[in-house]
Chain A
Amino acid sequence: QQQVKQSPQSLIVQKGGISIINCAYENTAFDYFPWYQQFPGKGPALLIAIRPDVSEKKEGRFTISFNKSAKQFSLHIMDSQPGDSATYFCAASPSGSRLTFGEGTQLTVNP
């Protein structure tokens, strides 16, 4: 009930391509869906977040797409750059409550 399933585990994309990472959840009480970005040697940092009252949120090259009926959400990175190479985590929670994280996706963007 509390799980968040993330795929793929690893992803290799060419510079300029689109990176897509998917997450699925089960708990219908979840209403906050953030994505975190983690570089080696650093803690995860909040990248972008969405609430279920909208189906899409865009911040620069990063977009979250949210499908409430399917209980799925995804991160799209447009025009991927080598500097985007990092580990990405999706997460979900009831608002104001503890986050449950996905397993993580290691993204490599080749020059």
Chain B
Amino acid sequence: DVKVTQSSRYLVKRTGEKVFLECVQDMDHENMFWYRQDPGLGLRLIYFSYDVKMKEKGDIPEGYSVSREKKERFSLILESASTNQTSMYLCASSLWDGYTFGSGTRLTVV
């Protein structure tokens, strides 16, 4: 089974901090994705990547950036955390259509 591992389950950060969320997958998938999950809004795509060094903006990229230096690792960066970025962040990977998600990181910005 493909495993997608997110480095932290819970994070509490202060407003203005730079925050790194890490995601690693172990099945050589080309595609990786970052979503945020908020009640009533479903899963909204922040950024995605179809290859190493490649990145594409999703639907809500403002305030975020990403890094993919190695195929298995996709990092989400909050340049200057704000309270409206308090959310559940989900990483996913795929080879084609079926996504495998990590367990999520619940980020609270205070």
A41 to B105 Cα, complex, angstroms: 10
Question: What size tier do the contact residues of chain A reach?
Answer: 20 to 34
A36 and B37 alpha carbons, distance in the complex (Å): 14
Do A43 and B103 touch across chains, with their CB atoms under 8 A apart?
Answer: yes
- A residues 26-66 near B (Cβ < 8 Å) are 32, 34, 36, 41-46, 49
* Most chain B CB atoms below 10 A, which of A2, A44, A93: A44
Q: Is the CB of A46 within 8 A of B99?
A: yes
Question: In the complex the two chains form, what is the Cα distance from A5 to B99 in whole Å?
Answer: 20
- Interface flag for A101 (CB, 8 Å): yes
| Chain B residues within an 8 Å CB radius of A36 | 99, 101
A44 touches B101 (CB 8 A): yes
A89, B42: Cβ atoms closer than 8 Å: yes
A93–B97 alpha-carbon span in the complex (Å): 8
- With most chain B CB atoms within 10 A of its CB, the pick from A9, A43, A44, A104 is A43
Check B58 against A46 for contact (C-beta < 8 Å). no
Among candidates B40, B58, B100, residue contacting A9 with C-beta atoms closer than 8 Å = B40
The 8 closest A-B pairs by CB, nearest first: A43-B101, A101-B43, A103-B42, A101-B42, A104-B42, A43-B103, A44-B101, A32-B97
